[in-house]
A and B are shown apart, each in its own frame.
Chain A
Amino acid sequence: MDSTKINEQKKHINLWPALVFGGALILFALVAVGVINQYIQTVIMFIGINIIMSSSLNIVNGYMGEFSCGHGGFMLVGAYVSSALSVLLFTDSSWVGHSLLPPSTAIFLFPVVIIIGGIVSAFAGLLVAIPSFKTRDDYLAIITIAANFIFVSLVNNLEFVGGSRGFMGMKNAIYAMEDIIRLPYMLIWTVTFAVLAVFFIRRLMRSTFGKGISAIRYDEISAEIMSVNTNHMKVVAFMFSSGLAGIAGGLFAHVLGFINPSSFNIMKSTESLVMVYLGGMGSLSGSVLSAIIFTFLLEAMRPLQILKWVLIPLMLILLMQFIPEGLLGNRELTDVFPKLKRFFRRRDI
């Protein structure tokens, strides 16, 4: 029985890397020849950022079954830390004066700055992880909302990063990079980080360690008596999730070139929640799919202006009414369309 299984597995060619690299190359080629204009590029960048947001929130809300709705707060931490760093390091500004490093180093250090933003917001994630040892469900949701409010009002009152007026200048780091070689840097980095985020989440959730995170969702007591250190798992899951949100925030800040605290308020967290529930809890491909659909929907509804904020919540209500488990439920795309399995190598449980 086992030998046939191995033979079968050999037939599956892993097309993942080829697909991703091919897609990215085609995308960059199209940008280079000018087929894809600035606007479409921006939409693609937002898709990348939203993919990171939804798939990282899915670790906590989907796989672990806790309810966190303060994801925007961690995005804020990442956005401010990485923007402040890139202004500090790479640009001459009225804020701190002369740049600490030659602006040209941005070309190598830009991803490092984004990742530092992620690391800081991972530690901010502890603020939510520690209360989650004792509380769950609705109470944890309240704590996460509170954390979101804390971050927003903290930054609102921090004069040296602009307070409620917002913070800008990080775009100069991108311009410094473009002075050396003209490349669509932000597009490259958002796509790269989105692909890496999905890749790492997939690896984490497939590992035995990740199975422990899922075990918490199914039954916390059982997980504990099956020797899963639930507290440790929760810390890891919350930190990983909020760290990725921080990375998304850093990218978001550098794409827009301007951030203010109110862009990361509860609305932002709600958007991430909508994406997770649209895609299906505990479904990574669902999160990716819903991030794409949701970003397109937002753009399509742009002419409607303020009416957009009537239609999106309405959409959420209809979603909960008719497909409460989301587009894919807790299945992956390969479970819905089994023929896709031919393209991916799959470990049998």
Chain B
Amino acid sequence: MMLEVKDLKVRYGNIEALHGLNFHVDRGEIVTLIGANGAGKTSTLLSLSRLPQPEAPHVVEGDILFDGESILKTEPHQLVERRQMALVPEGRHIFGNLSVRENLDLATYAVQKDTKFVSSTLDLVYSLFPRLYERRKQRSESLSGGEQQMLAVGRALMTGCKFIMLDEPSMGLAPVLMYEMFRALKELNEKDITILVVEQNAKVALDFADRGYVLDTGEIIAEGSSEELSTNKDVQKAYLGG
């Protein structure tokens, strides 16, 4: 088990956002968390990535285990270095002032000494997203939404991660770009990268993931393989439009 979340309860101030989540991700899997607005999907990812207080909720109970060790005490910047976990945050958070190439370079902060790895990953990113290669010298804020999302994923890869968490990668993307994005993620998964993806678009997410969890108001209400979930009557009714 690569990631194990045990009975996770988190709060924003006095408001409890997650009421004891239990889920796990195995090595080499693609797992999706689906749910409506306010279900606690982003809160889960933010607590997993250990971001500091104002952005992320406070974990009051439970534990997050990565490779069997608790990461609750780990600083976010150490997650990349020590655990090879990367987050692709909601709203992309790319460095808009910098060119595409500079964005990718900045991400190699932790692994920069390994020049071989850096250049081979750069080739990988460019081959996954040829658009980024075409625009490598362009200021990244001038990219389209889809290209920015590609850049955010590319940047996560450049950190040398083995586990990527994505927060709504489909948000604001045209359907064509969305499928292209998921195709690229699938390709990455075949290269032995484990993926946890949070999605509102349940149909696409379940098409692409191995397993899924359905989140509602801070609790997991259903879980199972993608086929099971897509045929589940309740899930169909609530998230797949009947």
Contacts and interface: CB of A to CB of B under 8 A. Distances in A.
Interface of A: 134, 208, 211-212, 215, 218-219, 221-222, 224-230, 330, 349
Interface stretch (B9-17, B49-57, B190-198, B218-226): B49-57
A222 B76 contact: no
Contacts of B97: 218, 330
A52 B78 CA distance: 34
Contacts of B49: 225
Q: What is the predominant secondary structure among interface residues of chain A facing chain B?
A: helix
B112 A218 contact: no
B54 A219 contact: no
Interface of B: 49, 51-55, 75-81, 86-87, 89, 93-99, 101-102, 105-107, 109-110, 112, 155, 159
A330 B97 CA distance: 10
B155 A221 contact: no
A228 B107 CA distance: 9
Contact of B95 (A215, A227, A330, A349): A215
A349 B94 contact: no
A208 B112 contact: yes
A229 B80 CA distance: 11
Contacts of A221: 51, 55, 89, 93
30 contacts: A134-B54, A208-B112, A211-B109, A212-B109, A215-B95, A218-B96, A218-B98, A219-B94, A219-B96, A221-B51, A222-B89, A222-B94, A222-B95, A224-B52, A224-B76, A224-B77, A225-B77, A225-B80, A225-B87, A226-B80, A226-B106, A227-B77, A227-B79, A227-B80, A227-B81, A227-B109, A227-B159, A229-B77, A330-B97, A349-B102
A56 B51 CA distance: 30
Contact of A225 (B86, B99, B101, B105): B86
Contact of B51 (A212, A218, A219, A225): A225
Contacts of A134: 53-54
